[in-house]
Amino acid sequence: MGQEQGKEVVTTCTRRASSFFKEGKYTEAETLFWRAFKVSENTQGKEDLVTVIALGNLARFYQAKKIYVFAEFLYQRALQLAEVKFNFIPASTKQILVNYKQFLKEAGRENDAAEA
């Protein structure tokens, strides 16, 4: 699978995963969010913007499921790439930071959120 086809698969999986999540079909959503990430990592590369966004989507999913330890791990991985590789220039990378701050607040870590 080439890069362009990979991007299409990632986009389709992400949209379907979001729909499933809204419908309460969490197992299906989780599977598709992971597929989007794996396809992106394999076709775009581990440090590509599409892959970083896919990581952010996974983090947001686990945040919504209140699986905070794993959500934080994924957020930190995505944010490290977003900062180092992209310097938070694309709006999508800035949104990951916004979501991470919200996550920290939800987890009762107001001080950490203020510092992030």
* DSSP collapsed to 3 states, 7-36: HHHHHHHHHHHHHHHHCCCHHHHHHHHHHH
**Amino acid present at 62:** Y
Which residue is associated with the tokens 């905070």?
68
Cα atoms found within 13 Å of the Cα of residue 5, Cβ hemisphere only = 3
| 21-50 pLDDT, tens digit each | 999 999 999 999 999 999 999 999 999 999
**Amino acid present at 53:** I
Q: Where are the domains of the chain?
A: 3-115
| 52-81 pLDDT, tens digit each | 999 999 999 999 999 999 999 999 999 998
User: Is 1.25.40.10 the CATH classification of the domain at 3-115?
Assistant: yes
Between CA 48 and CA 44 the distance in angstroms is 6
